[in-house]
Structure 1
């Protein structure tokens, strides 16, 4: 059984989507999955699901939703105790917890790619209670940071060819993010589009001045200067270095597996 929160709330059994009820009932399930294996007091559950619009007899309504979830998901254990509920499951069966666990590992392209592929859309898009809104904002911020980390790895390895279009769309959505702007400027320059790179730098410089009354930070200014003077590391040399590192990592992993077999 797999639980999805990074998009519409859904449950899959053997790859098949299971009907877990209407929107409010799915909200109850989402709260219990976010806090999987931890007690959620009834008052906290009510606050998170209804926010400021708590209905009459909300505690009874919550109990009814939990009862129906038990019927819809007979393989899932939802226990009532100490004035609250606990949903017991493997946290790695919940995409949200798997996403966080992957980002806690040493970041590399494969790990970040796996984490980002867990996202199916905007989490809790139909829910606007303060708790869900704050959680959604925090999750999207962490996803954005993971995308930027992945971009840095791709650029460091000279794999810039496919990046400009994606980075341009992101930069249009987040025009004041200097790290993203630097990635776009560098990718454009590495693709032989120096004029476009300098134009993008000027756009973010003007926007920062107009909206924040600030100049670009030192890293972005240095990148701009190095483009003007053609003082950037050739991507081929960077890619060669990373290829050597990747080969060494694979050799070490292979050696570790062999030693484990010999000593096991």
Structure 2
């Protein structure tokens, strides 16, 4: 029976397309703490910290035994996954692709090695398509919070990598809405600013592109006391030069009266 462990959203286990009952939040924390490092042993002390932080129950070993027993029951119908107890540690044994977080990482690595931008875009779309919302949604321990922040940062980088590919394929118009939202969420991110400037320019909105550069330049000066970095300045020069060249072509095409 095919199994999926989903961490990129609400923590779920899906058996042959049907969600199975994983129990309450603390029990789902146990599965998430093991699935995030599938096929790697997690010590008892590590697992306690991941599930309870600095406030473990009076008898954490007994609590973990109970949670693992019920999780094994919930996942008993699949032979593709096992919750294994070893000396001093526990391990989730599974195909790495059965865990969406691990599959996301594998797809993004494959995208970096892709031979063409078309192939790279398909792989990045497949990776981003695994996300169903906030990672580990509804679960809140210090370890999961830190892992969530790392996963969200990785997602953001993959989104920006995808935009670079779309721009190289000259499909920047498709990205304008997403880029506008991303700029609003990350106003000081120069890579995102450069992407929006290029997308605006390539869709005939050069004035808006140059205006956005000036807004970012002022914001960087006001908030960080810095000037735009080399990459953003290079994009600005590229747009200025292209705009000047286009203006020159238009002037030469003007038919002067005799």
TM-score of the pair, normalised by structure 1:
0.85
Deviation at 1:225? Answer: 2.2
Measured at CA, do residues 232 and 115 of structure 1 come closer, stay the same or move farther in structure 2, by a change above 3 Å?
farther
Answering whether residue 132 of structure 2 is matched by residue 120 of structure 1, we say yes
Answering whether residue 84 of structure 2 is matched by residue 79 of structure 1, we say yes
Aligned to 1:182: 194
How far apart, CA to CA, are the structure 2 residues paired with 1:57 and 1:111?
A: 45
Aligned to 1:102: 107
How far apart, CA to CA, are the structure 2 residues paired with 1:60 and 1:35?
A: 22
Structure 1: gaps of 5 or more residues: 235-264
Indicate the SS of the match to 1:215.
coil
**Contact 1:48-1:131 within 8 A present in 2 as well:** yes
Answering whether residue 114 of structure 2 is matched by residue 93 of structure 1, we say no
Aligned to 1:195: 207
Alignment of 1:183-262 (within 5 A): 183-230=195-242
Structure 2: gaps of 5 or more residues: 115-119, 247-258
CA root-mean-square deviation: 1.7
Which of 121, 125, 141 is the aligned partner of 1:129? Answer: 141
How far apart, CA to CA, are the structure 2 residues paired with 1:232 and 1:158?
A: 20
How far apart, CA to CA, are the structure 2 residues paired with 1:130 and 1:193?
A: 45
Aligned to 1:259: none
Indicate the SS of the match to 1:128.
coil
How far apart, CA to CA, are the structure 2 residues paired with 1:128 and 1:201?
A: 39
**Contact 1:52-1:129 within 8 A present in 2 as well:** no
Deviation at 1:203? Answer: 1.6
Deviates more, 1:75-84 or 1:188-197: 75-84
How far apart, CA to CA, are the structure 1 residues paired with 2:89 and 2:239?
A: 59
How far apart, CA to CA, are the structure 1 residues paired with 2:164 and 2:83?
A: 42
How far apart, CA to CA, are the structure 1 residues paired with 2:44 and 2:73?
A: 20
How far apart, CA to CA, are the structure 2 residues paired with 1:226 and 1:70?
A: 59
Answering whether residue 36 of structure 2 is matched by residue 24 of structure 1, we say no
How far apart, CA to CA, are the structure 1 residues paired with 2:90 and 2:143?
A: 18
